[in-house]
Structure 1
Amino acid sequence: MNLTYLFLTGITFLALGLLTGCTQDDFGAAPGGDAAEASDILYGDTVAWAVNVGGEAYVGGDGVAYRADEGITGGSVAQMDTVLGSQDPALYRTYRSGDFAIQTPPLANGRYDLTFHFAEPFDEPVGSRVFTVFAEGQPVIPDLDVRGARDEKHVSALTRTVTGVEV
């Protein structure tokens, strides 16, 4: 089994990241195969890695164990008092802003779903804070405006899942 690292970078205000996935043997399709097929099977699969960006280790309301903010370089850590629209608002209270990179522990080669949880901490106009999230050097969430993509409130939770990211 080959091991690799997954690098996530971007100018973002990421509340936390969640990585779920499986390898080729788990879903019967070689890397590079049909991502839609893989994503159907990946939903509900085991969590390979999760991190509470900007915060301490934490167990979410869904039972997912999030690691503490370690192995993350750059950006600034801060917290929000209130987050709207989440069943687990404590998870969104800490975040990093600015240009930063997240490096996962070694992962088996394969395709993974990446779930990102965002909340815009700053009361800025819609369209004024747009960014792109990269994984493995490729843009996976281009031109995201968290406030505009949600309900135009600056403390509302937003979740985005990218399926079939190959590592």
Structure 2
Amino acid sequence: MRPKKTILCVDDNEQSLSVRKFLLETRGYRVLDTQSPHHALEMLTRALPGSVDLLLTDLTMPQMDGNSLIRRAKEIHPALPSLMVSGTITSADRNEAADAFLPKGANSASELLDRVRILVARKRGPKKHVVQMSPLAPQQRTEMYPATA
């Protein structure tokens, strides 16, 4: 069984946040949610590298906008993918930092889930170093496995 992917959702609108959390949890994701960008940064600071698979945030929030949150989050976890949503379609041009953008209300739940799935799948950790075993030369083979007479 695969471990659940963890998504950090940030939105100052409690209703939007709870709907998004429910949607993602019913699809098998583990969701950490907060209405505060500052709390989201605290959560990321405490999180182990690679333990959060996606940052999903609103663009317009009172304390800090989504672009600033994403920039600061990527300082903490540089490989963290991010998806920004916004209440207006015209906000797409204000997306400066996110890997992907979706306007709230103009997208369906399936579009959000598809985008999340793609971004989570794209996340890659450090490549594992694999040591290749080279075949033994003939003289090494005879030293390791002496012939029996």
State the TM-score, normalizing by the size of structure 2.
Answer: 0.33
**Higher Cα Rg, which structure:** 2
State the TM-score, normalizing by the size of structure 1.
Answer: 0.31
Q: Decide which structure has greater strand share.
A: 1
